[in-house]
A and B are shown apart, each in its own frame.
Chain A
Amino acid sequence: MEILDKLINVALIAATLRTTAPILLVALGGSFTTKAGIFNIGLEGQMLVGAFFAVLGSIWTGSALAGVACGVAAALVFALVFAVLVVSFKANEVVVGLALNILAGGMTISLMKAIFGTRGSIVGHGIVGLPKVQLPGARDLLGSWAPLISGFTPLVYAAFIAVPLLVVCYNRTRLGLYIRVVGEKPEAAEALGISITRVRYIASLLCGLLAGLAGAHLSLGYITMFTENMSSGRGFMAVAILIFSNGDPLKVLAGCLLFGFADAFSLRLQTFGYPSYLVLTVPYVVALIALFALSYRARPRIIAETLESMRKLLSVDKNTEAGGKNPQ
């Protein structure tokens, strides 16, 4: 019984890593735009076209890798359109983001109908999924814990490796520094001859790249199919996580792990026969509660400040007396 429990725990954690990967990829993509001072609500749409074209590319070429490349290319086109409208033409980023999300939803449905003549989902048709990477020696090293590091698709590894890479990027590379400066103090960037437009384009395209990978993971990762609206709000959850993390990679990771865990947990609950509609709300409810808790955290601080000011109040009486002695 104990061993069974353990196995379930390991499986749950492994599932958490799996479900975290797509939202982590797209949120890290959004980290670039957030840091560059763009509120990118279009993550959802970029992810969705990424998922669709990854399936399409995989069918056309028979290669999962080419499929991923197709998905990324499609997401990059969306990111480029977003950047042209928002950065060059200074359109409202929320309006453009929403429009592109709607476009992505409608476009994938229309193309599905035009190419495959079906609605709902694309299954079969020779979709090639991503292979699972079995790390050699993982089983020897970790025994029954091996599923925690081995047996994931490449994009799961990519998502988690991207976190430290982004940390280094923001702290130690010129591009990362410029992205932060452009977002935090654009006038400083301008004064130093850093092109705000260029940096924001690069950030938008990096975002598209990672959002495309996230989409490809959805449709070619553990299930090889595309369904309508398959990103199912992950892009929006990523936006919420970005707002609360301010795009810091480590905080993004924490937020995504929380969401991924709730997602994996809800999948597990489903197998126990709870009503799926309720169970599917779990990740979103958990995420909302967590975000609320984060913003609520500021409150005890106010109490602490009051105590401090009261304490100082008591100790300054002597000072004011000394000041009162001054001849006027």
Chain B
Amino acid sequence: MSNTPGSPTLHSNAAMAVELTGITKRFGAFVANDGIDLAVRRGEIHAIIGENGAGKTTLMNILFGLLQPDEGSIRLNGEAIVIADPSVAIKAGLGMVHQHFKLVPSLSVADNVFLGMEIRRHGLIDHAAQIARTRDLSKRFGLQVDPTERVGLLSVGIEQRIEILKVLVRGARTIILDEPTAVLTPQESRELFQTLRSFVAEGMTVIFISHHLEEVMEVSDTVTVLRNGRKVATRPTAELSKDELVHMMVGREVSFDRRPRASLHGDVVLEVKDLWARDDRLLPALRDASFTVRSGEVVGIAGVAGNGQTELAEVLSGLRPASHGGAWLKGRNLTALSPAAIRQAGLAHVPGDRMVRGVDRNASIAANTLMGRQHRAPWSRAGMLNWNAINQNAETLIKSFDIRARGPGDAVKRLSGGNIQKVVLAREFTNGANFLLIDQPTRGVDIGAQEAIHDEIMRQRAAGRAILLISVQLDELAALADRILVMFNGRIMGEVAGDDADEERIGMMMAGVAAPEFAAETAS
């Protein structure tokens, strides 16, 4: 490990930690990176921002040696280098924290941190030394973990700290983080930012990929904006406003503000009462949930991923049995019905994992829009599918939902994430169901498509549908929901009206603090 350096001198011509010149990467005919130049100063937090598919992750994978550029060159600390694979990058002092963690659940925290570079004594792994080193590092950078705990039992936020420790223990001086806050609560994000600042204070460099504007504004020194595989600009963060940043990202204005709405709450469509359910390990994952959704109302469910939202969605759609309590859709108890019967009773479900439960990725758009209604006229007659009607219907849906595809015969796997999601929405929203269960509608979807999806949800609201919107993105809930319920550890911690959704309050509940007044009391 290198010694702690003195405070770095930062002037405009300070040495560059990373210089990428003219990086181009093609996948077949698709150009993911098109002549990108990127210069990152040593000792800064450099954010790379752009929509999905803008080429951020591709660029970082090239820097880390996971991909080879077709054109262009890389310099680290002023020296030209060819990064043939990640081991070269690690030796050169780069470290990458991926979006998807690669930890081994059955091993301890310390074992995971030192995996691949174990401390050994007499040929055997020295667990005590590994635990001590992990403890030292975690103290030094404020990354709280218990080195002896098994990773399988820990939360996502802690898993991320372990990934960062892994990078540190390998002696990284430049740390790349790919969408690090996507899985964190607002409080955890703030802690992460503090850690990142402590890195910079020790003279390290941080490259930070994000599509979350506010945190980029909050934490970064410099921003590079990518759009459609090209670099739009690199600017000091202090000189930028949020609006300018959005404009550079999407090339046009996008509103993140709360959608205008008329109050049109009607009858109760869904009533959930004392609902309990277990997760796959048979532990209680949903605890005593009770709420209602009225027609013409969007009820949002906020929470860090993995706090019972998935189980709630699965129980409501009939994919998971309830262990206690019930959910009534127009008076019929869903917990006693099969998924098909629940759909008959009037549920449309936009599942959280669209590639697993939303679509058959190998089938065509037409076939995907058919699913679930294949027994009904006009799509089938006398047990035979009527492909003319199916294709015509798909054609109509492609137009009305603005799905960017060549035609109904296009395989779904050829579409981008946003367009795949639009295929799911097109199918689910045209079912005539009066209760819409929408889980993470814009996960992995670019800003343009996000806007279209939000528009569509508001149209459904205006049409008098009852909507339960589960999302880990607070801005999405704040924009769309009439009421926001916050889940923590399977329990609904409280409710906030959409009109005065306040990140601080929701964040406290997401972190498990029951009622905001209670938090105020303990703080005083």
Which residues of A come within 8 Å of B, CB atoms? 168, 171-174, 177, 180-181, 184-185, 187-188, 191-194, 298, 301-302, 305-306, 308-310, 312-313, 316, 319-320, 322-323, 326, 328
Enumerate chain B residues within 8 angstroms of A188, measured Cβ to Cβ: 102-104, 115
Taking a contact as CB atoms under 8 Å apart, the answer to whether A177 and B115 are in contact is yes
Residue of B nearest to A323 (CB): B494
Taking a contact as CB atoms under 8 Å apart, the answer to whether B324 and A309 are in contact is yes
Give A188 to B163 CA distance when docked, in angstroms. Answer: 11
Taking a contact as CB atoms under 8 Å apart, the answer to whether B274 and A313 are in contact is yes
At the interface, yes or no: B153 with Cβ under 8 Å from chain A?
Answer: no
Taking a contact as CB atoms under 8 Å apart, the answer to whether B104 and A181 are in contact is yes
Taking a contact as CB atoms under 8 Å apart, the answer to whether A181 and B125 are in contact is no
Taking a contact as CB atoms under 8 Å apart, the answer to whether A312 and B515 are in contact is no
| Contacts A/B (CB < 8 Å), 18 sampled | A171-B125, A172-B127, A173-B123, A174-B118, A174-B120, A180-B106, A188-B102, A191-B98, A192-B102, A193-B90, A305-B282, A309-B276, A309-B278, A323-B494, A323-B515, A326-B494, A326-B495, A328-B497
Closest Cβ–Cβ distance, residue B358 to chain A (whole Å) = 23
Which residues of B come within 8 Å of A, CB atoms? 85-87, 90, 98, 102-107, 111, 115-116, 118, 120, 123-125, 127, 274, 276, 278, 282-284, 287-288, 290, 323-324, 483, 491-495, 497, 514-515
Taking a contact as CB atoms under 8 Å apart, the answer to whether B495 and A184 are in contact is no
Which residue from B90, B106, B282, B492 sits with its C-beta under 8 Å from A184? B106
Enumerate chain B residues within 8 angstroms of A184, measured Cβ to Cβ: 104-106
Residue of B nearest to A174 (CB): B118
Give A44 to B115 CA distance when docked, in angstroms. Answer: 34
Which residue from B107, B124, B290, B497 sits with its C-beta under 8 Å from A181? B107
Enumerate chain B residues within 8 angstroms of A319, measured Cβ to Cβ: 514
Closest Cβ–Cβ distance, residue B115 to chain A (whole Å) = 6
Enumerate chain A residues within 8 angstroms of B107, measured Cβ to Cβ: 177, 180-181
Taking a contact as CB atoms under 8 Å apart, the answer to whether A180 and B104 are in contact is yes
Closest Cβ–Cβ distance, residue A247 to chain B (whole Å) = 12
Which residue from A177, A192, A310, A322 sits with its C-beta under 8 Å from B324? A310
Give A2 to B107 CA distance when docked, in angstroms. Answer: 51
Known contacts A191-B98, A305-B282, A319-B514; is-contact A312 B287 (Cβ 8 Å): yes
Taking a contact as CB atoms under 8 Å apart, the answer to whether A328 and B282 are in contact is no
Taking a contact as CB atoms under 8 Å apart, the answer to whether B282 and A301 are in contact is yes
Taking a contact as CB atoms under 8 Å apart, the answer to whether A312 and B495 are in contact is no
Enumerate chain A residues within 8 angstroms of B288, measured Cβ to Cβ: 312-313, 316, 320
Enumerate chain A residues within 8 angstroms of B111, measured Cβ to Cβ: 177
Beyond A309-B287, A309-B323, A313-B324, 18 extra complex contacts between A and B, CB < 8 Å: A174-B118, A174-B120, A177-B115, A177-B118, A180-B104, A180-B107, A181-B115, A188-B103, A188-B104, A188-B115, A193-B87, A305-B283, A305-B284, A308-B284, A316-B287, A322-B514, A328-B483, A328-B495
Give A96 to B303 CA distance when docked, in angstroms. Answer: 47
Give A306 to B324 CA distance when docked, in angstroms. Answer: 8
Give A194 to B102 CA distance when docked, in angstroms. Answer: 13
Taking a contact as CB atoms under 8 Å apart, the answer to whether A305 and B287 are in contact is no
Enumerate chain B residues within 8 angstroms of A192, measured Cβ to Cβ: 102, 115-116
Enumerate chain A residues within 8 angstroms of B324, measured Cβ to Cβ: 306, 309-310, 313
Taking a contact as CB atoms under 8 Å apart, the answer to whether A313 and B123 are in contact is no
Residue of A nearest to B483 (CB): A328
Taking a contact as CB atoms under 8 Å apart, the answer to whether B274 and A305 are in contact is no
Give A65 to B127 CA distance when docked, in angstroms. Answer: 39
Taking a contact as CB atoms under 8 Å apart, the answer to whether B290 and A320 are in contact is yes
Enumerate chain A residues within 8 angstroms of B323, measured Cβ to Cβ: 305-306, 309
Enumerate chain B residues within 8 angstroms of A172, measured Cβ to Cβ: 124-125, 127
Give A305 to B493 CA distance when docked, in angstroms. Answer: 22
Give A301 to B241 CA distance when docked, in angstroms. Answer: 56
Enumerate chain B residues within 8 angstroms of A313, measured Cβ to Cβ: 274, 276, 288, 324
Closest Cβ–Cβ distance, residue A322 to chain B (whole Å) = 7
Give A173 to B125 CA distance when docked, in angstroms. Answer: 6
Which residue from A171, A316, A322 sits with its C-beta under 8 Å from B515? A322
Closest Cβ–Cβ distance, residue B101 to chain A (whole Å) = 9
Enumerate chain A residues within 8 angstroms of B514, measured Cβ to Cβ: 319, 322-323
Give A187 to B99 CA distance when docked, in angstroms. Answer: 13
Enumerate chain B residues within 8 angstroms of A191, measured Cβ to Cβ: 86, 98, 102
Residue of A nearest to B104 (CB): A185
Known contacts A173-B124, A173-B125; is-contact A193 B282 (Cβ 8 Å): no
Enumerate chain B residues within 8 angstroms of A181, measured Cβ to Cβ: 104, 107, 115
Give A188 to B283 CA distance when docked, in angstroms. Answer: 27
Give A210 to B446 CA distance when docked, in angstroms. Answer: 54
Closest Cβ–Cβ distance, residue B321 to chain A (whole Å) = 11
Give A96 to B274 CA distance when docked, in angstroms. Answer: 52
Give A323 to B323 CA distance when docked, in angstroms. Answer: 23
Residue of A nearest to B124 (CB): A172
Taking a contact as CB atoms under 8 Å apart, the answer to whether B86 and A193 are in contact is yes
Enumerate chain B residues within 8 angstroms of A305, measured Cβ to Cβ: 278, 282-284, 323
Enumerate chain A residues within 8 angstroms of B103, measured Cβ to Cβ: 185, 188
Enumerate chain A residues within 8 angstroms of B290, measured Cβ to Cβ: 320
Q: 9 closest A-B pairs (Cβ-Cβ)?
A: A192-B116, A188-B102, A172-B124, A185-B104, A191-B102, A193-B87, A309-B284, A309-B276, A181-B104
Indicate the member of B115, B123, B278, B323 with the most A CB atoms within 10 Å.
Answer: B115
Closest Cβ–Cβ distance, residue A301 to chain B (whole Å) = 6
